[in-house]
Structure formats: structure tokens, C-alpha cells
Structure 1
Amino acid sequence: MTTPGAGPSGAGAGVDGVLNFRDVGGLPAGAGTTRSGVLFRSAHLARLSDQGREELRALGVRRIVDLRADDEVAFEPSRIEGLEVETLRAPLFSGPTSSFFERDATLDQLYRSLVDESSDRIVEVVRAVLETRPALVHCTAGKDRTGVIVGIMLAAAGVDEEAVVADYAATAGHLSPERNAFVLARLRRMHPEARNLEELATRSPARAMRTVLDSLTVRFGSPAGYLRAQGMSDAELADLRGALIAAPAPEHPRAEDT
């Protein structure tokens, strides 16, 4: 979840100055795999360095989808000056992010809220990625809003469920102890009675993404069925699979078999 002040960047960033940056390429999807260099995910870009801007330029990123609310963007504006990249704002929360801490929501409650109350924006983000690629989707920590949207996209495209879950859960390894301590100390001063701060601000348990995917399957038949119920066409879903998934190369007969 986006948290006030993401704190120092942690280890594992693939672009200098950006926490939790990674390419979702190489994930198993039936007989195929996700394409590399098409969809990236990360935390905010407020500490993107000059080196990081060159790295983003080298990756060919053409569109950035920023899932943060207005107050978050004002507090930590993206440092993307000089990059020939289009930024699309798609804030997922209708209210301030602090409301989830004030009511002491669990991750499961937060994710159910995202799926149910931000479905139009989720579809908007999927279509934005389809329209302009390579794309980078990010929020503040790259954990919850980014995790849910990327997880739904990957699952709807046909990525193996355990690979979707593992990609989501990998975020915990990209959030350094220093960053987590910084965020938790700030949040505890603001919400001293909250019991779920640590999970909301620092954790990405596999259970949480399995709960999202299971709920979409029970309620809509599948993650693709969820997007279809929100207005995406079968043609768009086919385009999503084609954009994200590379089929295996055909096997050529060996000389001794001909």
C-alpha cells in the first residue's frame, strides 16, 4: 500500500533510485512465458537518479501508469524530466490512503476494496498497457495497488497461478529493513492503536494474492472473467494474452529424424 514517505530505497532495485523495480518477463504461462521488456512494475519515481533515467530510457519505457492519489503525487513527485515518456494518472483510491490505517484494515479487506470499488480504473490501466508498450505501472511502494493490478493482468493473460503469486510475494524481498522501519515508525506515530500496520505497510504474503485470485474465480469464473464483467471484450483479452505471453518456438525436426 502506498504509505506516507516511502523512506530510503531498498536493495534489489533494477533502476537506480527506484524501489522494487522489476520486469515481469519470464513467468510460466502454460506452454509459453511472459515477454520481457513489455511490462515493468515498481515503487514511486521520486528518487529516480540521472543514472536511473538513462536506465529507463534504455529499457524503452513509453508509458508510465501512476496509481497514486493526488496528495501522494504532490508529496513525492516523479523525477522523469527529460524522458520522452507519457504519464497516465489512474488513482485507485477514492479517498485518502490514511483511511485504511485509520480503520485498521487488513490486506484482504484492502484488496477486496480495490477489486470492488476501483474496477473501472483497473480496466483503464489494463487498456493503457495494451495501447502503449513498454509500460511501467507503479504506486508508492509497488506492493498493493501495483501488486493487485499486475496480478490480475498476469492471471487474466494466462500466467500460471503460482507464478502470479510468487511475483506478488517477491515484493517483500525488495523492501529493505531500513525502509520498513522508517515507514512503520512514522505510521505508528500517526495511528498508535492500529494492529495491522506492519502487514499493510511492509508485507506481501502469498496468501493475500491467492485470496484475490480465488475470489475472482468464485465470483466471476476467473480473473479474465472479472475483467470481462467490467466491460473488457474477448478481443481485448486476447490482445492482452498476445501482448504479455510469448508462445514457445516450434520444434524443428532433427536431421536424424528426417
Structure 2
Amino acid sequence: MTGSLVSGASNFRDVGGLPAGDGTTRSGVLFRSGNLVQVDDTGIADLRALGIRRIIDLRDEAELANDPSRLDDLPVEVQHEPLFLGSVASFFERDVSLEELYSSIVDDSADRVVAVVRGILTAQPVLVHCTVGKDRTGVTIGVALAAAGVDREAVIADYARTEQLLPVARTERVRAAIRALHPDNVHADELATRSPARAMRALLDRLDREFGSPAGYLRAHGMTDAELERLREVLVA
């Protein structure tokens, strides 16, 4: 698993090759990334070569309007599943932690988390993305991988990789803007620029406590045992 696979798209990567018990996740099946706004001609060719059939976009309507994806004539189905309830700005205004943000996603948008996982089952190769590919993407991909039986530490490590894959210039620009707007915030820098293993571990541990497992969380919100078995068949070889 290397860096970005698509020119102009940050944090674009394949989640293949992760250990899952006696197996590993399949390559070329499930991808994750930040937005597709700055995809260039080479990036369009990259997406075509990957054979992406379905794109699950986790951004809200305002984000879609302000930063539309560049897909040209690619033969893809786009599924929109906005995961944030409230504006991104509101999270900084309330100075929420990553743990609080992730809890709000699984609590308040459980039906959409399930819809994302079902979207992964609908057609492959499939890309899941949000704006940066860190939080909304991190939560849904983390839950899907864990529910498919991927080793817990591998799920956490895949989430944590994002911090190293975000463009340095973008990170510094965002940090400067945050310091100017919210100089006294405790969590703002981490919320915008970091993906610490601690945050994903806390989320998965919480799903264990409350639902028995990440698969139990999906089951409690409508997924069937057959769908969960199919998820493992799709993602793990």
C-alpha cells in the first residue's frame, strides 16, 4: 500500500493487504481518499484504470456545491451519504474532541453508516471519501474493516496513516487559519489535521462495549448476518 494512487487526489489509497485472521484484505476492491475536486487529467485516467464502479461521497450538500468532484465521463455510480449533522464550523466552535466527533457519527448517523457499508457491497471496486479522508471516511472504513474481521491493530494503523499522507502545505495552512479563528481551542488542531491511533481505538472499544463488536453495531442498526458474511467475502481473501 503506497501513497496516493490518483493524481490530484490526496490521501487516496487501497486498503488491500491488511491482515484479517488467516486472510488479508483484497487489493483493488475498496479505496479511500479525500475529495476529488483537484483531480487532473492524469487522475481521471488513474480512476479509469482502477475500474472504480461506485463512489460513496460522505460530504454534505454545501460541500458538494462548493467543491464538486471532477469525474468527467467516468462510468461510476455516486452514492451520497452525508455524515455530519451540523456544519464543520460548529465542531470548532464547540471545541469537540475527535472521540466526541466519532461518537456523534456512530450515534446520530447509524443508518448512514450502515448505508455506506451496504454501498460497499453493492458494487466494487468502490471508493469511499469525504473532504480530507480522515474522519467520516476513517470512521466508516474502520467500522467496515473491523466488521469484516480485519485485525484490530491493522484497522487502527490504517486510520492513523492518514496524518502522514495529508499534504504538508494544506496542514500548515489549516493550522494557521484555526489558530487565527480559535486561539483558545484545545482540540481544534487535532480535529483538523491529525489521526491519532488513540481515537480509532477508543471508537472500536466503545462499539465492543455497547454492541459486542463493530459487526454487532451494524447488526443492531439493520444489517443482516448474511450481509455481514458477504462483507467478509467481498473484502477478505
- TM-score category of the 2 structures, normalised to the smaller one: over 0.9
Q: Which runs of 5+ in 2 are unaligned?
A: none
* Deviation sequence 1:41-92 (CA, Å, 0-9, x none): 0000000011001001000000110000111111211011121111111100
Indicate the SS of the match to 2:31: strand
Instruction: Report the 3-state secondary structure (helix = DSSP H, G, I; strand = E; otherwise coil) of the residue aligned with 2:143.
Output: helix
Q: Deviations over 1:228-248 (max 9, x none)?
A: 0001000000000000000xx
CA RMSD of aligned residues (A): 1.2
Following the alignment from structure 1 to structure 2, what is the Cα–Cα distance between the partners of residues 43 and 67? 10
Give the counterpart letter for 2:193 in structure 1. Answer: T
Partner-residue secondary structure (3-state), 1:36: coil
Aligned mate of 1:108, from 85, 99, 105: 99
Which one of the candidate residues 118, 121, 128 is aligned to 1:127?
118
3-state SS in 1 of match to 2:128: strand
Superposed, 1:94-243 pairs within 5 Å as 94-243=85-234
Which amino acid is 2:60 matched to? A
SS of the residue aligned with 1:137? strand
User: Taking structure 2 as the reference length, what is the TM-score of the superposition?
Assistant: 0.97
State TM-score, norm by structure 1: 0.89
Amino acid at match of 2:221: Q
Which of the pair has more CA radius of gyration?
1
2:17 to 18, 26, 35: 26
Residue 188 (structure 1) shift: 3.1
The residue aligned with 1:47 is 38
* Correspondent of 2:65 among 71, 74, 99: 74
Give, as a single letter, the amino acid of the residue that structure 1 aligns with 2:200.
M
Q: Distance in 2 between matches of 1:191 and 1:122?
A: 30
Q: Which has the higher contact order (CA 8 A, sep 6+)?
A: 1
Q: Report how far residue 186 of structure 1 moved.
A: 2.4
Gaps of 5+ in 1: 1-10, 247-258
State the aligned residue count. 236
**Post-superposition offset of 1:185:** 2.0
Matched with 1:245 is 236
Which amino acid letter does the alignment assign opposite residue 111 of structure 1? Y
Does 1:83 find its partner at 2:57?
A: no
Q: Confirm or deny that 1:59 pairs with 2:50.
A: yes
Question: Is contact 2:138–2:159 with CA below 8 Å preserved after alignment?
Answer: yes
Residue identity matched to 2:65:
A
The answer to whether the Cα contact below 8 Å between 2:178 and 2:189 also exists between their aligned partners in 1 is no
- Identity value in percent: 60
